[in-house]
Structure 1
Amino acid sequence: MSRPRKPFGARQPGRLPSTMMKVLAAEMSDPGRLRRGKQYAKDGSVLDIVVEAGIVTCEIQGSRSTPYVASLEVTAGDGMPLRRDVHAMCTCPDDDWDDHACKHVLAAMFCFADELLIEPSLLDVWRANASAGGTDGAGTDDQEGGEVDGGGSDDADDLPVRRRHLELVRDGMERGRAERRERLAERRPEPVDDPLAELLSLPEGSRLPDIGAIERDDATRPSRPELAEVLGDAVRHLRIDWD
């Protein structure tokens, strides 16, 4: 396996599935994460991509020294999946915050879109379509002459090792999520002391006075404007103190 391929030239065979993958990426996240994920894919932060039946896995170099692992699991079927058919996961802290895909998952989707632009048959491999030509990873065949790209047999021999590495990372990611869910379930909200509770509390045995209904006084306003203004201001600032 080599690094994700970069398409070149204007006439690529997989323009439609590549565009649909980018649209799917936009549907799965918010504009801010989408912009950062696109930049990650553009600047070469995606170190590796593995396309297998039912899952695409990528290693993305983020702000930490250890690369993050993002994966896109999909249900079997034909053509480009809908959003509900795709389950995205990542080892980054942003993966559990909300329903939006993180920037590392989006970077993986943009890199996969480039792979589809070069080799559209990878969509059938990902969807576990029986009619797929048997390609078992992105970047194995050249788009023009069918030659092995990026090192030939050395990459093919290294593929099982990489898969095992990614499987171990995914297992650790699932264990970490389970532990976080257990910690959140055990967490109890701390009691909050109300600073006004004691001030507003009544002594034992005391009771508030009964207040009768206040009838509206429809008395006519004074004829002199100055007096009417003074009385109106007094009513607006009226305050009742209880002894």
Structure 2
Amino acid sequence: MSRPRKPFGAQQPGRLPATMMKVLAAEMSDPQRLRRGKQYAKNGSVLDIVVEAGVVTCEVQGSRSTPYIASLEVTAGDGMPLRRDVQSVCNCPDDGNWDDHACKHVVATMFVFADELLIEPELLDVWRGNERIDVDDDRDHARDDDPIDDDRTEPTDTGDELPRRRRHLQLVRDGMEQGRAERREQHTRREREALIDPIADVLEMRDGATLPDIPHLERAEERLPRRPELAMILRDAYRHLHIDWD
């Protein structure tokens, strides 16, 4: 878990992958969500970002007090993925919308990730599952002449950044899964509940009911205005007036 970084200067090493990530964001969203997501990324609404193999997760402060959790999942491979290789997930109400566009929180995640790639392009390999350095393997395969090898203890939370990120990511994923389960339950409950019309009993025509007799309506006496122009217009309107009783 770390705060998103802001690139400084024009000569950054990851200009190409950062630009391709922004293009991918435009492909996955519509112009309105793209514009709002860019604004979220620009004004600091993205609070934290976690980059791991197969997923980038961000906490994005939206309109509610609790931040939204947006993630960008990708299949393993090399280089910048295609649209079909990426799946976006967010616990906001706009996630899974009917037009299959990424929400503004996912767009903000992609633009913040683009800034991270601009500073450190190696994060693209981490995201695609091609990370070359495994911290756990390095810890297990330490030098044999290490005097404290036999009594090695696990690093504390303060000193071991990777396990802390994994724990944070697990909590994030648990929260996202809980949110999806709650939305599925609400959707199922709405489908089970029948739509009740409050005036259905009033409008219902019961068997054997008779309609009241409606007396014949006589045409009212025409009272035309004195001005000939207005009188002609009103007379023409009366002539073409037709009322149908259903």
TM-score by length of 2: 0.66
Secondary structure of the corresponding residue to residue 24 of structure 1: helix
Secondary structure of the corresponding residue to residue 95 of structure 2: helix
1:111 is aligned to 2:112: yes
Contact 1:56 1:71 in 2 (8 A): yes
Q: Distance in 2 between matches of 1:77 and 1:233?
A: 75
Q: Distance in 1 between matches of 2:203 and 2:103?
A: 44
- Show the counterpart of 2:166: 163
1:111 positional shift: 0.8
1:108 positional shift: 1.0
Q: Which amino acid aligns with 1:182?
A: E
CA shift digits 1:164-219 (9 cap, x unpaired):
12312321221231232133223233143569955xx697599xxxxxxxxxxxxx
1:40 positional shift: 1.6
- Show the counterpart of 2:194: 189
1:53 positional shift: 0.7
- Show the counterpart of 1:51: 51
CA shift digits 1:70-100 (9 cap, x unpaired):
1111111222222222111223333244422
Change in 2 beyond 3 A, CA 1:195/1:175: same
Secondary structure of the corresponding residue to residue 36 of structure 2: helix
Contact 1:69 1:166 in 2 (8 A): no
Which segments of 5 or more consecutive residues in structure 2 lack a partner in the other structure? 136-155, 211-235
Note the 1:137-176 alignment, pairs <5 A.
157-176=160-179
Q: Distance in 2 between matches of 1:203 and 1:195?
A: 13
Q: Structure 1 stretch 27-36 or stretch 71-80: which is displaced more? A: 27-36
Aligned-residue CA RMSD (Å): 3.5
Note the 1:195-234 alignment, pairs <5 A.
198=204, 204=208
- Show the counterpart of 2:36: 36
Q: Which amino acid aligns with 2:112?
A: C
Secondary structure of the corresponding residue to residue 94 of structure 1: coil
Q: Distance in 1 between matches of 2:18 and 2:65?
A: 30
Contact 1:38 1:107 in 2 (8 A): yes
Secondary structure of the corresponding residue to residue 62 of structure 2: coil
Q: Distance in 1 between matches of 2:127 and 2:120?
A: 12
Q: Which amino acid aligns with 2:194?
A: P
1:156 positional shift: 5.9
Change in 2 beyond 3 A, CA 1:118/1:191: same
Change in 2 beyond 3 A, CA 1:59/1:155: farther
Q: Distance in 2 between matches of 1:233 and 1:4?
A: 70
Q: Structure 1 stretch 88-97 or stretch 164-173: which is displaced more? A: 88-97
Q: Distance in 1 between matches of 2:173 and 2:96?
A: 15
Number of residue pairs matched? 201
1:134 is aligned to 2:144: no
Q: Distance in 1 between matches of 2:104 and 2:65?
A: 17
- Percent same amino acid at aligned positions? 69
Secondary structure of the corresponding residue to residue 93 of structure 1: coil
Change in 2 beyond 3 A, CA 1:173/1:134: same
- Show the counterpart of 2:12: 12
Which segments of 5 or more consecutive residues in structure 1 lack a partner in the other structure? 137-152, 207-231
- Show the counterpart of 1:78: 78
Change in 2 beyond 3 A, CA 1:169/1:30: same
Contact 1:76 1:127 in 2 (8 A): yes
Q: Distance in 1 between matches of 2:179 and 2:206?
A: 50
Q: Distance in 2 between matches of 1:24 and 1:5?
A: 20
Q: Which amino acid aligns with 1:189?
A: A
CA shift digits 1:25-63 (9 cap, x unpaired):
112222222112111211222222111110011122333
